[in-house]
């Protein structure tokens, strides 16, 4: 069997769902399990609705519920026709009734707990999956809607719950295997799950990718397909840099590093279950059925570029903790790390000197309580609006001069670096800049490490565009000085 996951933009409208139904129809022989996100922007709207309700503006929040109802009903009507949509209406209505009651409750108590937030956000995927399953049936794809909360079991870390694999395996096998045996196509919402007691949880924003991988690992899938709105994993976010190119093949380690450091195309934890079971993952474009996308496997052929890709993770804070002189280094560091542990603070980059320590953390995860705790140990100051830039490539290991080349390029972009890290994973170089500098620094780095070296000397622009650098295709011979892009980059760096 295979797992096919379709993201928000892939199910954003009747037209998009129609395309999804064709894609799934073309894979029937492979016994797909389909995982869908909420329709595009719906989760953001549910978040906004919750915020409005807790300010006490119940009527505005209820107006948002109505807008959501209309969008889903209209999509269902277009996809299913009046009669069939009327048959689905009671199921959608039951969801909207629950949502409406919850929003009224929020407006009354004016408090949204993490547990309440998971319940609120679960409606997006419940609604989309119900519509997609019916749309499949109408088009002759024998779908069966499955309630994700009855398959995917997590702990109770609300808003970013941790899957319990053993329990998930057991429940999924019971629910899904009999359906597959009857040649039915299970359709379920991603992102949402439930605790062992049946309390709704979510896997964190963007978590449908993770759901797909968890289900793939639980059911020993042959492959996991992540269908999205770009051609695959790219050399950088195409929204930041129009020259971004699709990566044909990439290793689990490299892709996991890219996802962790901000490549939004995959939820940061997606690859862990796949790595554990050695299941290949494909990132594909749902708007281009012919796309071959990106193949992510344990090993990939060496890249012809120095790096595989560049990512930027925004919304980061630098926390500087400075001890007063006379405090023992050992005790100081221990106290700081203990404070991080107490608050389950997940830090990205750490720099240490004798009496100070700086670390980066996602701003949304930097709670007041952690800062107060650190202030008991030393002086603390925080710089918000920072970003971690990360360059990833398995081939950089043991090659001299690459860091120099990176930092020269950043200097050429006239961007100031706040912190630097290399070595932890041996496949990345990361550093911190101000958030505002992200587009400039990413474009400069991309031009330097991808575009510039892809250009065969003396060829016309048309030919230049025809050259495929990454992946399996060979580079055109006769590059500048007769050197490969990799060797040229290294030579420039030394």
Q: Using CB under 6 A as the criterion, which residues of the chain lie in contact with ligand ADP when the complex forms?
A: 7-10, 37, 206, 228-230, 233-234, 236-239, 263-265, 309
Residue closer to ligand ADP by CB (options 115, 205) is 205
> How far is 214 from 295, CA to CA, in rounded Å?
18
Task: Choose from ligand ADP, Mg ion, ligand ASP, none: what does 440 bind? Cβ within 5-8 Å by kind.
Answer: none
| Parallel/antiparallel/unpaired status of strands 32-36 and 185-189 | parallel
Tokens at residue 148, please? 């994700």
284 contacts 230 by C-beta, under 8 angstroms: no
38 belongs to the binding site for ligand ASP (CB under 6 A): yes
DSSP state of 156: S
Instruction: Output the smallest distance, CB 189 to Mg ion, in A.
Output: 14
CA-based nearest residue to 453, from 407, 484, 409: 484
124 belongs to the binding site for ligand ASP (CB under 6 A): yes
Per-residue binding string, ligand ASP, 169-198, x by CB under 6 A, is ---------------------xx-------
232 belongs to the binding site for ligand ASP (CB under 6 A): no
Which distant-in-sequence residues (6+ apart) come within 8 Å of 217 by Cβ? 165, 273, 274, 276, 277, 279
Q: Select from 115, 205, 277, 487 the one that contacts ligand ASP (CB under 6 A).
A: 205
232 belongs to the binding site for Mg ion (CB under 5 A): no
Instruction: Output the smallest distance, CB 207 to ligand ADP, in A.
Output: 10
| Ordered DSSP codes for 194-250 | EETT--EEE--TTTHHHHHHHHHHHTT-SEEEEEESSSSSBSS-TTT-TT--B-SEE
Residue closer to Mg ion by CB (options 202, 303) is 202
> How far is 81 from 77, CA to CA, in rounded Å?
5
Integer CA distances (angstroms), 395 to 111, 160, 305, 403, in order? 50, 33, 9, 13
Task: Choose from ligand ASP, ligand ADP, Mg ion, none: what does 306 bind? Cβ within 5-8 Å by kind.
Answer: none
Task: Choose from Mg ion, ligand ASP, ligand ADP, none: what does 421 bind? Cβ within 5-8 Å by kind.
Answer: none
Which distant-in-sequence residues (6+ apart) come within 8 Å of 200 by Cβ? 118, 119, 122, 149, 192, 193, 194
Ranges assigned E (strand) in 339-410: 347-352, 356-362, 379-392
Residue closer to Mg ion by CB (options 7, 116) is 7
CA-based nearest residue to 475, from 493, 494, 459: 459
Integer CA distances (angstroms), 377 to 265, 320, 346, 450, in order? 39, 12, 19, 45
Footprint of Mg ion on residues 181-220 (CB under 5 A)? 206
Q: Select from 208, 235, 430, 479 the one that contacts ligand ASP (CB under 6 A).
A: 208
Strand, helix or coil for residue 482 = helix
Residue closer to ligand ASP by CB (options 272, 452) is 272
Region of 1-9, 38-46, 324-332, 441-449 interacting with Mg ion (CB under 5 A): 1-9
207 belongs to the binding site for ligand ASP (CB under 6 A): yes
CA-based nearest residue to 128, from 72, 173, 186: 72
50 belongs to the binding site for ligand ASP (CB under 6 A): no
Residue closer to ligand ASP by CB (options 7, 58) is 7
Residue closer to ligand ADP by CB (options 263, 391) is 263
CA-based nearest residue to 334, from 357, 312, 365, 366: 357
3-state secondary structure 88-115: HHHHHHHHHHHHHHHHHHHHHHCCCCHH
Instruction: Output the smallest distance, CB 112 to ligand ASP, in A.
Output: 16
Residue closer to ligand ASP by CB (options 4, 38) is 38
228 contacts 265 by C-beta, under 8 angstroms: yes
Instruction: Output the smallest distance, CB 230 to ligand ADP, in A.
Output: 5
Residue closer to ligand ADP by CB (options 15, 166) is 15
Residue closer to ligand ADP by CB (options 305, 373) is 305
Residue closer to ligand ADP by CB (options 68, 241) is 241
Instruction: Output the smallest distance, CB 153 to ligand ASP, in A.
Output: 18
Task: Choose from ligand ADP, ligand ASP, Mg ion, none: what does 43 bind? Cβ within 5-8 Å by kind.
Answer: ligand ASP
282 contacts 224 by C-beta, under 8 angstroms: yes
Residue closer to ligand ASP by CB (options 37, 172) is 37
71 contacts 79 by C-beta, under 8 angstroms: no
Region of 91-99, 199-207, 248-256, 478-486 interacting with ligand ASP (CB under 6 A): 199-207
268 belongs to the binding site for ligand ASP (CB under 6 A): no
Q: Select from 9, 43, 122, 479 the one that contacts ligand ASP (CB under 6 A).
A: 43
Integer CA distances (angstroms), 434 to 317, 318, 431, in order? 10, 10, 10
116 belongs to the binding site for Mg ion (CB under 5 A): no
Interface contacts to ligand ASP, rule CB under 6 A = 7-8, 37-38, 43, 124, 190-191, 205-208
Interface contacts to Mg ion, rule CB under 5 A = 7, 206
């Amino acid at each position: 069997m295979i797992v096919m996951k379709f993201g928000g933009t892939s199910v954003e409208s009747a037209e998009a769902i129609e395309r999804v139904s064709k894609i799934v129809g073309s894979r029937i022989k492979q016994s797909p399990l389909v995982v869908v996100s909420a329709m595009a922007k719906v989760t953001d709207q549910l978040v906004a609705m919750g915020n409005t309700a807790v300010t006490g503006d119940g009527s505005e929040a209820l107006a948002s519920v109505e807008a959501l109802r209309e969008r889903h009903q209209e999509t269902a009507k277009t996809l299913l026709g009046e009669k069939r949509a009327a048959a689905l209406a009671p199921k959608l209505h039951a969801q909207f009734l629950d949502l409406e009651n919850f929003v009224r409750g929020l407006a009354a108590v004016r408090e949204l707990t993490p547990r309440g937030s998971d319940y609120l956000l679960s409606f997006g995927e419940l609604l989309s999956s119900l519509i997609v399953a019916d749309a499949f049936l109408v088009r002759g794809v024998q779908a069966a809607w499955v309630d994700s909360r009855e398959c995917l079991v997590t702990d109770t870390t609300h808003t970013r719950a941790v899957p319990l694999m053993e329990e998930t395996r057991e429940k999924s096998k019971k629910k899904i295997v009999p359906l597959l045996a009857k040649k039915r196509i299970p359709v379920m919402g991603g992102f949402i799950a439930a605790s062992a007691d049946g309390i709704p949880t979510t896997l964190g924003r963007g978590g449908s990718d993770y759901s797909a991988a968890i289900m793939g690992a639980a059911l020993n899938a042959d492959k996991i397909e992540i269908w999205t709105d770009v051609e695959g994993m790219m050399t950088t976010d195409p929204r930041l840099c129009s020259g971004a190119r699709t990566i044909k093949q990439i290793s689990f380690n490299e892709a996991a590093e890219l996802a962790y450091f901000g490549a939004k195309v995959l939820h940061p934890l997606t690859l862990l279950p796949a790595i554990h079971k050695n299941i290949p993952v494909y990132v594909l474009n749902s708007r281009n059925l012919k796309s071959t996308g990106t193949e992510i496997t344990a090993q990939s052929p060496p890249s012809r570029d120095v790096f595989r890709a560049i990512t930027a993770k925004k919304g980061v804070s630098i926390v500087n903790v400075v001890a007063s002189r006379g405090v023992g280094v050992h005790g100081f560091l221990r106290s700081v790390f203990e404070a991080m542990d107490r608050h389950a603070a997940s830090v990205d980059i750490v720099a240490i000197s004798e009496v100070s320590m700086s670390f980066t953390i996602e701003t949304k995860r930097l709670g007041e309580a952690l800062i107060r705790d650190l202030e008991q140990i030393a002086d603390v100051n925080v710089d918000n609006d920072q970003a971690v830039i990360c360059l990833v490539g398995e081939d950089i290991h043991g090659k001299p001069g690459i860091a120099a080349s990176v930092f020269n390029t950043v200097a050429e972009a006239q961007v100031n670096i706040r912190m630097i890290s290399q070595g932890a994973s041996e496949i990345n170089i990361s550093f911190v800049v101000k958030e505002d500098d992200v587009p400039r620094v990413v474009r400069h780095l991309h031009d330097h490490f991808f575009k510039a070296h892809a250009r065969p000397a003396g060829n016309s622009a048309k030919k230049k565009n025809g050259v495929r650098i990454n992946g399996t295709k060979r580079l055109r011979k006769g590059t500048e000085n007769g050197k490969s892009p990799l060797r040229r980059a290294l030579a420039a760096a030394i």
